[in-house]
């Protein structure tokens, strides 16, 4: 089975533009960004509660602590949230009913399952015309983009919640631009 496509910034922009023109645009935008900008698994995104991202002070947290029931492999982990993603979360939270406990709800107001969110993201990528993209594309794109910026594989593994760096290495997509830049480092 082929790995999920890693998206370029231009492709991600096309997907986000598509999402903005469709129903549930704000919700779908944030679900996508949680995978692309925080490297979260689809099941982790589906399991998010408002209390996971919002502190008692009403501010969006800089770290999301996922308990073992919310992760793959039944291991708790911490997801670090960039300032840019915190702003997106904050804007989305303002659109929610104050009584809503799940961060992301279906149109029937139920929590997403990992499978239903997977299907939703796959449909979004298809609708945006990004061939080869799947619900795992955000996570692969996150890891690859950080690797391109020189982040070490041990840090990437920790951010991804991987136990083994060999797992993380399989996520990193190598392309011609990366190879060109690498040989230019020699003097």
> How do residues 3-36 score in pLDDT, each as one tens digit?
888 899 999 999 999 999 999 999 999 999 999 9
* pLDDT tens profile 111-166: 899 999 999 999 999 999 999 999 999 989 998 888 888 888 888 888 877 787 87
Model pLDDT, residue 167: 75
- Residue 154, judged by CB atoms within 10 A of its CB (0-12, 13-18, 19+), counts as exposed
Tokens 């986000």 locate to 16
Per-residue pLDDT at 169: 76
Question: Can you give the pLDDT at residue 89?
Answer: 97
In this predicted structure, the answer to whether residue 1 has a pLDDT above a threshold of 60 is no
Note the pLDDT of residue 179.
Answer: 74
Per-residue confidence (pLDDT) for residue 162, from 0 to 100? 78
Mean of pLDDT values over 162-173: 76
Residue 69 has pLDDT above 90, yes or no: no
Average pLDDT over residues 61-71: 90
Residue 164: predicted pLDDT: 79
SS3 101: coil
| Tokens encoding 129 | 């015309």
Contact 173, 4 (CB under 8 A): no
Domain boundaries, the chain: 9-184
Q: Closest Cα partner for 65 from 152, 139, 161, 164?
A: 161
pTM of the model: 0.86
β-pair partners for 60: 54
The pLDDT, as a whole number, for residue 187 is 67
Length of the chain: 187
Closest C-alpha to 125, from 48, 47, 22, 26:
22
| Buried b / exposed e along 29-59 (16+ C-beta atoms within 10 A) | bbbbbbbbbbbbbbbbbbbbebebbbeeeee
pLDDT for 72-125, tens place per residue? 877 888 999 999 999 999 999 999 988 889 999 988 888 899 999 999 999 999
Rounded Cα distance, 15 and 116, in Å: 19
Range 9-184 has CATH code 1.10.443.10: yes
């Amino acid at each position: 089975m082929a790995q999920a496509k890693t998206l370029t910034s231009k492709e991600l922009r096309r997907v986000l533009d598509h999402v903005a023109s469709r129903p549930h645009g704000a919700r779908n935008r944030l679900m996508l960004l949680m995978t692309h900008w925080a490297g979260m698994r689809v099941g982790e995104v589906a399991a998010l509660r408002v209390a996971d991202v919002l502190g008692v002070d009403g501010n969006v947290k800089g770290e999301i602590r996922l308990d073992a029931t919310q992760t793959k492999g039944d291991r708790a982990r911490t997801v670090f949230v960039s300032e840019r993603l915190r702003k997106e979360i904050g804007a989305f939270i303002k659109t929610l009913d104050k009584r809503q406990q799940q961060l992301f709800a279906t149109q029937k107001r139920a929590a997403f399952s990992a499978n239903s969110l997977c299907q939703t993201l796959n449909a979004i990528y298809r609708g945006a015309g990004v061939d080869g993209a799947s619900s795992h594309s955000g996570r692969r794109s996150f890891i690859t983009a950080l690797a391109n910026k020189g982040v070490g594989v041990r840090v990437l593994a920790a951010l991804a919640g991987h136990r083994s760096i060999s797992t993380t290495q399989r996520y990193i997509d190598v392309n011609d631009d990366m190879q060109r830049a690498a040989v230019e480092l020699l003097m």
